[in-house]
Amino acid sequence: MALVGDLKDLKLPSLIQLNCMEKNTAKLTIETDGRYGFVYFENGQVVHAEYDPQIGEEAVYRMLQLYSGKFKVESGIRAPAQTIKLSWNSLLLEGLHKMDDGEADPSRRYDHLFERLLTIKGVIKAKIINEADEIIASSSQDKSFSEYFYLLLNYETQKIGELLQLETPEIVTFSGGFNKFALCAFNKFLVVIELESKTKTEVILPFIRQALR
């Protein structure tokens, strides 16, 4: 029987550690925003990984940066090839070091903020918009909404701020159809958070405020 779950509840480092410490031979599949990644274990060692276009260690390093998505672990499935020779603990340590080093890259600078937000039940994804209405960081590569959509949300937030005589309202929520959004002031930027449609904003907003501190 396969083990299935959500990366919000069990992160990839924990999944790797669990399979390696139990000396499993298994295939771990991760799906996020329609993209798939695979990690193969052989007697408790990570021997192969794929996350298009990366293969091997680089695929693992890239998947360690995923904060949301579904996973499935299937026992007894062997790797089609061996592309990783590092021990699993060295692999994890190197991957975590790369994540820390990557924060100098503006596109990865807000990873810890995204991680905090995505642990909140009801939060789907988040983006950061600068003063020029440009998306400078995103928790997801999903393209379901164009930059013009986020620009429109930002414009509406500014209009609400003018009505309330505030430069930028602390948090504004929008809902329509199957989507719900929370727009939050963060330093000089705006964080756009997509929420599940059934989320009760009065329940989730205190957690969002805490994550933004």
Q: What confidence score (pLDDT) does residue 111 get?
A: 76
pLDDT in tens, the chain (213 residues): 789 998 878 889 889 999 999 999 999 999 988 899 999 999 999 999 999 899 999 999 999 888 788 999 999 999 999 999 999 988 988 887 776 555 445 556 677 788 778 878 888 888 888 877 777 888 876 655 555 565 566 555 555 455 544 444 466 776 765 678 888 877 778 888 888 888 887 888 888 888 887
Q: Which helix (H) or strand (E) covers residue 36, if one does?
A: strand 35-42
Instruction: Give the closest residue to 7 by CA, choosing from 110, 108, 123, 143.
Output: 123
Is 202 exposed, middle or buried (CB count within 10 Å of its CB: 0-12, 13-18, 19+)? exposed
DSSP 94-135: HHHHHHHHGGGSGGGTTHHHHHHHHTSTTEEEEEEE-TTS-E
Q: Where do the domains of the chain lie, and which CATH numbers do they carry?
A: 3-103 (no CATH), 106-212 (3.30.450.30)
pTM check: above 0.75: no
